[in-house]
Chain A
Amino acid sequence: MKKLILITALLASPLFAQTKEKIEVPYVAFPIKMGKGFDAVQANCLMCHSFGYIINQGRQSKAFWRGKIDKMITHFKAPIGEEAAKSVTEYLYKHYGNGKLK
């Protein structure tokens, strides 16, 4: 009987997933600088990607941050209005900017 079980297990093994249950991708809190415009970041950016994805781009110019938002609108079809786009740009430039407009 024991042998039979072993054989069955071997036969079936190619289709055993290493992980039998649903995997769970952990939630990670990144340090966030609070300030004017963060509401807009939360409402328009964080449903698609983490805050880490933003701040790990490094310090960037105002034009860079605006360009990223435009990319999200144009290529990724994020429904971000002009007012929100401006708020997000200002927030990112103020807290994660490199001091250059371009």
Chain B
Amino acid sequence: MERRDFFKKAAVVAGVAAVGSTTAEASATHQPIDNRKVSDVAFPEKRPLILYSDRPPLLETQRDVFTSILTPNDQFFVRWHMPDIPTHIDPETFTISVNGLVEREINISLNDLKTKFEQVEVTAVLQCGGNSRSAFTPIAGGIQWGSGAMGCATWKGVRLRDLLDQAGLKKDAEWIGFNGSEKAAYYETPEFIRELHLEELDDHVILAYQMNGEDLPYLNGYPLRLVIPGSYSDSWVKMLSNITVTDEYKHLFFMDVAYRVPDNECECETPEKKAPKTKPITKMNVKSIIGYPTNGGKLSLNSHVVVRGVAFDDGHGIKKVLVSTDEGKTWQEALLDDGKAGRYAYRAFRFTFKPTKLGKLTFMAKAINNIGEEQPFANEIKWNHGGYKYNGIDEVTVEVI
């Protein structure tokens, strides 16, 4: 493209240009930004979503999608790290390689994966560690996601364990490295590799080729991705190409520098005094999102409203979801779905309410999991430099007319 064209095009507002405010208030979290519109541009296999970047693609799901346990593939959020994503993968010739400290190196085709191994399914939430990052003040580094860098799907594939068994782990095997196919612009840039300790890899970890009964969309990692129920999405390597077994941990950027929180009890720090030690974000905390109504919506006086949303954690399971309509002074229990989608899935909740007063009305939702962990109020959440793991009580304000 000619430079002039570039400038001319640049004048067109096509994507989100979310530049936060310059308020110099003291460090306090608040509700994540929730006023972004979907883009005019639809990405491959996707409906138009909230757009932050085209290269690498960064797309967020809008709030009103979060009323049922499965997030449709074409509305599922997208997050890549590198600019160069393979735009064509031939399912006939694609293979996944298992090598390193194994008895036999294997290259398995997609067809073999689908026919020669036990096929398993898990419904699990995929959430970016930086989901809701826009809640933090001062503004934490990274994309200023609202609450839609998450989704829940039924993933189908084969157990990682079965694949490793086929290759046969050697005695010293301890770490499993997963390599995705995305590429940087420079050869020297570190590849997107994750390493997981064998102990972290239980039978729930699968290599999935299907999402909600369809091929994975390219932008969600076609043809094969890692699924680690309960863990944040930075570990769910997309477009998986290679699995390498080692006895020693390799130092990797995406493990050792990115996606880490302070290694202290509150997982918190201040911009002036950053925590000296950090740890990986790993497991998700308990969280819920209201999908209906949405901010700025209108409800009719004395109408029968059913508030809907989803709640999840890292697999302990959701015990209850409470809703407040008086700024958190009193709480009432919402109805939960049957939970048959399993402990890693969204629990859909619903709460019937009849608005009897005109004017502004705020709904709050708070999830509590089976080990008694509950969501704190937004302003109780302490800051961390990467803006990770926000799980404040969700709020939606509507007008009763």
Interface residues of A (CB under 8 A from B): 14-19, 21-32, 34, 47-53, 55-60, 64, 67-68, 75-79, 96, 98-100, 102
Contacts and interface: CB of A to CB of B under 8 A. Distances in A.
Interface stretch (B186-194, B292-300, B325-333): B186-194
Interface stretch (B17-25, B278-286, B312-320, B349-357): B17-25
A28 B21 contact: no
A58 B257 CA distance: 21
A102 B274 CA distance: 13
Contacts of B24: 98-100
Interface of B: 6-7, 9-22, 24, 39, 41-45, 51-58, 83, 85, 87-92, 110-111, 114-115, 134, 138-139, 141-144, 184-186, 188-190, 214-215, 217-218, 222-223, 253, 257, 271
Nearest to B257: A75
11 contacts: A23-B88, A30-B10, A48-B83, A49-B83, A52-B16, A52-B54, A55-B19, A58-B20, A64-B141, A75-B257, A76-B253
Query: What 4 pairs between A and B have smallest CB-CB spacing?
Result: A77-B188, A58-B20, A29-B9, A28-B54
Contacts of B87: 22-25
A62 to B, nearest CB: 13
- The winner among A26, A28, A64, A78 for most chain B CB atoms within 10 A is A28
Contacts of A76: 184, 186, 189-190, 253
B141 A60 contact: yes
Given A26-B54, A30-B17, A56 B89 contact: no
A50 B54 contact: yes
Contacts of A53: 52-53, 55-56, 58, 143
Contacts of B257: 75
Contacts of B114: 14
Contacts of A64: 141
B52 A25 contact: no
B18 A19 contact: no
B185 A25 contact: no
A98 B23 CA distance: 8
Nearest to A64: B141
Contact of B88 (A16, A21, A48): A21
A15 B111 contact: yes
Given A17-B91, A19-B218, A57-B143, A78 B14 contact: no
Given A17-B223, A22-B87, A98-B22, A31 B186 contact: no
